[in-house]
Amino acid sequence: MKKDKKNSEPLIQDFTSSFTVVYKEEMAKRTICRMDIEAPLIARKARAGQFIVLRVREGGERIPMTITDKDPEKGTITIFYQVIGKTTALMRTLKVGESFADVVGPLGVPDEIESVGKIVMVGGGTGTAVLYHITKAYREKDNYIVGIIGGREKELIILEKEMGVLCDELIITTDDGSYGERGLVTDALTRVLKDSPDIRLVWGIGPLAMMKAVANLTRPYRIKTMVSLNPIMVDGTGMCGCCRVTVATQTKFCCVDGPSFDGHEVDFDELLKRKGMYFPQERESLLFSVR
């Protein structure tokens, strides 16, 4: 899987857009939120696999979010996020008509999407929001797509209808069996891999442990497996070094070399350790913000 570095455009800061929320939908007892944001320049340039870095308020934390979809005609981008800590909780308070302080993007290397034949797209939790834009690009290249999307319970399944339109087959899993097949997305993938010797490519996007499990499952079959990594990011432009990951024993900066990488080459154990590094501070910051 080649990275489309030659077509990635130089970073521009869009000072002309207002980054106004034009649509908002809350799901899963308000723990997942969709927002359509006015950002015409980003909507025009964004390609599958890319993300933005946003700030809710002046002086606030910068956080990365994947561009799940874009509408260049309306000049909007769509994000789906899980309300997990201080900044995402603050994001949820924004109403339609209110604006983000700033949004930078599109960032990251767009994925080069090719016509390869039969592919499996696996999304876990809000990872499906990251998977969606990439799946759409594979659809446009006429691949045969088997989708597997899952969550802990029915309410946490997102983009089912939209993925259903893109996929030739769609399997839904829930950990508790409240919808679709009972079990993990990796259980369904195990079966699909056994039954279909003609799979050319697998994408797995979701929690790090899930992506590691997907890569481990496909390794014995020698099927190319791509993942989209989500380390802590600050500037998103290759300057702070925060998003270091080890891929094929080399240090890469996820924001400028990724976020997509060959899952068989990623050192997931190191990334899992680094990702939990600030957990006590994040916890404290959330508790402090709700006092």
Ligand X SMILES: Cc1cc2nc3c(=O)[nH]c(=O)nc-3n(C[C@H](O)[C@H](O)[C@H](O)COP(=O)(O)OP(=O)(O)OC[C@H]3O[C@@H](n4cnc5c(N)ncnc54)[C@H](O)[C@@H]3O)c2cc1C
Q: Which residues bind ligand FES (CB under 6 A)?
A: 233-236, 238-243, 253, 255
Helix, strand or coil for residue 111? strand
Smallest distance, Å, CB 287 to ligand X?
10
C-beta of 9 vs 198, nearer to ligand X: 9
Smallest distance, Å, CB 243 to ligand FES?
3
Q: Kind and range of the H or E element at 134? A: helix 127-140
Q: What is the largest CA-CA distance in the chain?
A: 55
Cβ-in-10-Å burial (0-12, 13-18, 19+) of 204 comes to: buried
Smallest distance, Å, CB 209 to ligand X?
12
> What distance in Å separates the CA atoms of residue 26 and residue 240, rounded to the nearest whole number?
33
Helix, strand or coil for residue 261? strand
Nearest to 6 by CA among 105, 107, 112: 112
Smallest distance, Å, CB 44 to ligand FES?
24
C-beta of 64 vs 125, nearer to ligand FES: 64
Which residues contact ligand X by CB under 6 A? 51, 61, 63-66, 79-82, 84-88, 126, 129-130, 230-233, 259, 275, 279, 282, 286
235 binds, among ligand FES, ligand X, none (CB under 5 to 8 A by kind): ligand FES
In this structure, the number of other CB atoms found within 10 A of the CB of residue 288 comes to: 9
C-beta of 61 vs 175, nearer to ligand X: 61
C-beta of 90 vs 240, nearer to ligand FES: 240
80 binds, among ligand X, ligand FES, none (CB under 5 to 8 A by kind): ligand X
Q: What are phi and psi of 221, to 5 degrees?
A: -85, -10
Identity of the amino acid at 121: M
Smallest distance, Å, CB 214 to ligand FES?
24
> What distance in Å separates the CA atoms of residue 137 and residue 68, rounded to the nearest whole number?
12
Smallest distance, Å, CB 160 to ligand X?
17
241 binds, among ligand X, ligand FES, none (CB under 5 to 8 A by kind): ligand FES
46 binds, among ligand FES, ligand X, none (CB under 5 to 8 A by kind): none
> What distance in Å separates the CA atoms of residue 173 and residue 125, rounded to the nearest whole number?
10
Q: What angle do CA 231, 234, 236 make, to 5 degrees?
A: 85
158 binds, among ligand X, ligand FES, none (CB under 5 to 8 A by kind): none
C-beta of 61 vs 187, nearer to ligand X: 61
Nearest to 20 by CA among 43, 35, 38: 38
C-beta of 85 vs 238, nearer to ligand X: 85
